[in-house]
Structure 1
Amino acid sequence: MSEFTYLNDMQGIQSFIMEHQLSFLFISRPNCSVCQVLLPQVQEMMEQYPSIKTGYIDASEVEEVAGYFSIFTAPVLLLFVEGKEYIREARIVHMDLFEDKVKRIYENVVG
């Protein structure tokens, strides 16, 4: 399974997004059963897209992340292309639809 970079402050999160052409954030909260089920599925899926740099954020440790990204629930999945948000999925994520979106963007950016 793909290992996600653990991001624990806003400066690190902003740098992570800006330093990579394709970056993905999985934002979670403790005791979130949906998060616990979804994370391994997303990690496995992301192995197919090696150019996407992946990050994990615990929103209870980086509380300002909710305001910065206008997040009201968990989990939240965000895909950025050159620092701009292209995909946002929250709470209930249909993995097949999510993967179709990621694949389309990946093929357009990476080729």
Structure 2
Amino acid sequence: MDISIDPASATPPYEQVRLRIAALAAAGDLSAGTRLPPVRTLATDLGLAVNTVARAYRELEHAGLVETRGRAGTLITAAATGTPRAAQQAARRYAETTRTLGLTPEAALDLVKAALTA
């Protein structure tokens, strides 16, 4: 993930992190479901305090751009990527249906890929 902090900027570091992650998601460089680095890892990589990165993640979550799932980490949401809500709902319904039918995630994805190329 390409994030850098400009210490001379008037924009606080947490806001620089927040803006960059949001921009990467909106541009499609971070797709829905992409797991962000753990707070401590990103803080170390950027030379920031853990609380600074944690605040950026909290603000992203409050805006609905990421979702924190405990040990599963912090993930980019479909909303952050500009995916229309109707498409998000269709994907959820499809996932529920394929699970009910007993398909593996790989088989369900193969069906979608085949349908999209047909």
Structure 1 or 2: more strand by fraction: 1
Structure 1 or 2: more helix by fraction: 2
TM-score by length of 1: 0.35
Q: Which has the higher contact order (CA 8 A, sep 6+)?
A: 1
TM-score by length of 2: 0.34
